[in-house]
Amino acid sequence: MVLHFLIQGRVQGVGFRWFVHREASELGLRGWVRNTEDGDVEVVASGEPDDLAELRASLKRGPRGSRVDRVIEHTLAESEAEELTVFRIDGAW
């Protein structure tokens, strides 16, 4: 299963990407997390439905100092997972 999440709120400058990386890695998910130019955080994750449900719950909670206002979720085609490797932070600068 492959899911795309867009997390809105106070999610940049609060360690959100590192939080997602840790959570996803612990669950054995593949994919990536990155900041968007609009101030949101975007996540693509591939794995078992139960593990993705745990990630979803973590995204809604966020790390200390963050404020999650909205999580938008879409299911992607399985073919989207073919290029995904170990979970990583994209564009960490």
Q: Which amino acid is at 27?
A: L
Catalytic residues: 17, 35
pLDDT digits (tens, 9 = 90+) for 13-49: 999 999 999 999 999 999 999 999 999 999 999 999 9
Query: Is 7 in contact with 64 (CB distance < 8 Å)?
Result: no
Query: Is 22 in contact with 86 (CB distance < 8 Å)?
Result: no
The CA distance from 62 to 52, in Å, is: 15
Cβ partners under 8 Å of residue 26, min gap 6? none
**Model's pTM, two decimal places?**
0.95
What residue ranges do the domains of the chain occupy?
A: 2-79
Q: Does the domain spanning 2-79 belong to CATH 3.30.70.100?
A: yes
